[in-house]
Amino acid sequence: MSDIKERISKICPEATFEEGDCLLVSVPEPKWYPLAKALRDDAGLRFDVLTAVCGVDWKDSIGVVYYLTSTSRSWEVIAVKVAVEDRENPMIHSVSDLWKVANFQEREVYDFFGIKFINHPDMRRFFLRNDWVGYPLRKDYDANPELNPIRLTDEINEDDSVSYVEDENGKVKAVPKKVFEEEDYVVNIGPQHPSTHGVMRFRAAVDGETVKKVDVVSGYIHRGIEKLSEGLTYPQILHFTDRMDYMSAHQNRHCVCLCIEKALGLDVPRRAQVIRVMMDELMRISSHLLSFGCTAMDLGATTAFFYGFREREMVLDIFEKTCGARMSMNYNVIGGVIADLHPDFVKDVKALIEIMPSRLKEYHKVFTGNVIAQNRLRNVGHLSKEDAVNYCITGPSGRGSNWSCDCRKKHPYAVYGELDFEEVLETGCDSFSRYMVRMREIEESCKILAQLVDNIPEGPIRAQVPKMIKLPAGRWYQQVEASRGTFGVYIESDGQKNPYRVHLQSPCFNLVGVMDLTCQGYMIADLITIGAALDFVIPDIDR
């Protein structure tokens, strides 16, 4: 870590350092872009993944905390804080040309904090309408409903975008842009559409049946979880996580619990850790089965969909017995889990593990091996490994591009470090590889369950936690491997009983960021295939 400090000081002498759960570097805004370039490109640094972009309003200043990961330095994470004092017209240089994932991330920050990113190609709001008044996540935001009534008219000028371009003298000027050309034939897909897997809207410019460009319009079910969290206590925040990616409810909640436990320095009993891991893996199986079913259905094979759901029912029954719910389980709590396992748990899990191999064979017979399915999935939606890293496509979709990015291996948490399982990788870089990674991950999850099901230790299911949970002042970032990729939580506390800022870094947000890249040149039908194989869940994007 000390060599990073040295190297950064050499590039940017003004940088100040702060130790925490990872190194935090504060740099003045004008030095940020050169430093970012060096961080990404310098041989000794190579922070090639932009893990998270969290806008924060510190009242006296406003800015962004970037979390960077270096794959070559064994996944070391550092944070870079960039703040500006101008609240009226805050501007920070965009890094969307260095890390493509920043394109949407910075649009989100602009949407909620009003920070304009210089040289960003498309500075539109991401979630809110372009006629929204104010920036909601600022601490001085006026939530008066009269300012933002429920508007009954269409958004005007939704094709208009702007780019803040800096010339050689350092002067920034706004350059208006159009999202689509005048002669583009734009097909609207969503927000109400059978295959967008939720309330997502794509606008696709097509030439005949070939897709030329895809514009993602998001925010139809945005619930403002990050804003709501700022007014709630830590145990209350947990409930939101089950309602983000509802197919990774356990993992998401596990992540927030881990982050708070890390901040409190709390030791979680081993029994709770094992239960959490088992629930995570069950959730992963359920999620991948759903993904299998939906991919099949989006391709028109409705029968395979029902086969996937038949086995998913077994997982949901296990959840129902132990957690009392089939969706939104609300099972993990700070320090452990909320209730002990149901007496049938071991028996049910064993039955599931036993049945899955034969059922997977059946899926492959009915769908994977089918010549039409193969033709529809293979060589569709090419995403190279470099692009996967640059767009921070984690999870099965990233591993389908042969990028080893499993958080369970890279930053082991709970009891994952002791388990014997393989990180599934496929080299095809296409939709078929992404699909196959999921199918093989079901086997790996079964393997993990088989190792744990007979070794659930006795003991308490949760640690003693204070009645009123207050985190010390500071900031923490925690990641877990959710069903669709690496889920991250950023918590900044000022010592109060509610957090100062919570940022939830969802994997699906990045997944939808590659829709434009992966769909170009393919057909309308492939857009659906690519969406199904990337497998994004909309509530995870619209947090």
Partner 1 sequence: MFDFGIWTSWFNNLLTGCMPGWAATLIECVVIGVLVLATYALLALFYILYERKLCAWFQCRLGPMRVGKWGLLQVFADMFKILIKELISLKGTDKFLFKLAPYLVITSSVVMLACLPWGNGLQIINYNIGIFFVLAVSSVGVLGILLAGWSSNNKYTLIGAMRSGAQMVSYELSLGLAIITIVLFAGTMNINELVWQQSNGWFIFKGHIPAIIAFIIYVIAATAETNRGPFDLPEAEHELTAGYHTEYSGIHFGFFYLAEYLNLFIVSGIASLMFLGGWMPLHIPGWDGFNAVMNWIPSIVWFLAKAFFVSYVIIWFKWTFPRVRIDQMLAFEWKYLMPFSLANLVLMAIFVALGWHF
Which positions lie near partner 1, rule CB under 8 A?
A: 185, 187-188, 193-195, 209, 296-303, 306-307, 310, 366-367, 370, 372-373, 375-376, 523-528
User: Are 232 and 240 spatial neighbours (Cβ–Cβ below 8 Å)?
Assistant: no
Neighbour-count burial for 259-287, b at 16+ CB within 10 Å, e otherwise: bbbbbbebebbebbbbbbbbbbbbbbbbb
Residue among 89 and 302 whose Cβ is closer to partner 1: 302
Residue among 303 and 496 whose Cβ is closer to partner 1: 303
Encoded tokens for 150? 């429920």
Encoded tokens for 434? 């992404």
Residue among 509 and 536 whose Cβ is closer to partner 1: 536
CA 122 to chain centre: 21
Residue among 189 and 415 whose Cβ is closer to partner 1: 189
Residue among 215 and 492 whose Cβ is closer to partner 1: 215
Provide the minimum distance between the beta carbon of 207 and partner 1 in the complex, in angstroms, as a whole number.
12
Residue among 1 and 372 whose Cβ is closer to partner 1: 372
DSSP 11-34: H-TT-EEE-SSSEEEEEEHHHHHH
Residue among 166 and 184 whose Cβ is closer to partner 1: 184
Provide the minimum distance between the beta carbon of 217 and partner 1 in the complex, in angstroms, as a whole number.
16
Q: Whose CA is closest to 468, among 301, 250, 310, 233?
A: 233
**Residue pointed to by tokens 């039908």:** 525
Residue among 9 and 210 whose Cβ is closer to partner 1: 210
User: Which residues on adjacent β-strands are paired with residue 177?
Assistant: 161
Tell me the CA end-to-end span of the chain in Å, nearest whole number.
33
Provide the minimum distance between the beta carbon of 443 and partner 1 in the complex, in angstroms, as a whole number.
23
CA–CA dist 372, 319 (Å, integer): 35
Q: At a CB cut-off of 8 Å and minimum separation 6, what does 312 contact?
A: 286, 289, 290, 293
Residue among 135 and 307 whose Cβ is closer to partner 1: 307
Residue among 206 and 232 whose Cβ is closer to partner 1: 206
Provide the minimum distance between the beta carbon of 439 and partner 1 in the complex, in angstroms, as a whole number.
16
Residue among 52 and 290 whose Cβ is closer to partner 1: 290
Provide the minimum distance between the beta carbon of 292 and partner 1 in the complex, in angstroms, as a whole number.
13
CA–CA dist 328, 309 (Å, integer): 18
Helix 345-363 crosses helix 302-323 at what angle (to 10 degrees)?
A: 170
Residue among 202 and 487 whose Cβ is closer to partner 1: 202
Phi first, then psi, for residue 117 (nearest 5°) are -100, 120
Residue 272's alpha-carbon distances to 103, 334, 343, in angstroms, are 39, 11, 16
Provide the minimum distance between the beta carbon of 351 and partner 1 in the complex, in angstroms, as a whole number.
18
Phi first, then psi, for residue 137 (nearest 5°) are -90, 0
CA–CA dist 453, 444 (Å, integer): 14
Encoded tokens for 360? 């997977």
Provide the minimum distance between the beta carbon of 152 and partner 1 in the complex, in angstroms, as a whole number.
18
Provide the minimum distance between the beta carbon of 196 and partner 1 in the complex, in angstroms, as a whole number.
10
Residue 427's alpha-carbon distances to 312, 369, 434, 436, in angstroms, are 28, 18, 10, 10
CA–CA dist 153, 133 (Å, integer): 16
CA–CA dist 467, 126 (Å, integer): 39
Q: Residue 479 in 3-state DSSP? A: strand
Provide the minimum distance between the beta carbon of 305 and partner 1 in the complex, in angstroms, as a whole number.
8
Residue among 61 and 379 whose Cβ is closer to partner 1: 379
Among left, alpha and beta (phi > 0; psi -120 to 50; other), residue 389 is alpha
Q: Residue 244 in 3-state DSSP? A: coil
Provide the minimum distance between the beta carbon of 189 and partner 1 in the complex, in angstroms, as a whole number.
8
CA–CA dist 513, 104 (Å, integer): 7
Provide the minimum distance between the beta carbon of 202 and partner 1 in the complex, in angstroms, as a whole number.
12
Provide the minimum distance between the beta carbon of 206 and partner 1 in the complex, in angstroms, as a whole number.
8
Question: Residue 233: exposed, middle, or buried by beta-carbon count in 10 A (0-12, 13-18, 19+)?
Answer: middle
Provide the minimum distance between the beta carbon of 362 and partner 1 in the complex, in angstroms, as a whole number.
11
Residue among 59 and 378 whose Cβ is closer to partner 1: 378
Provide the minimum distance between the beta carbon of 528 and partner 1 in the complex, in angstroms, as a whole number.
5
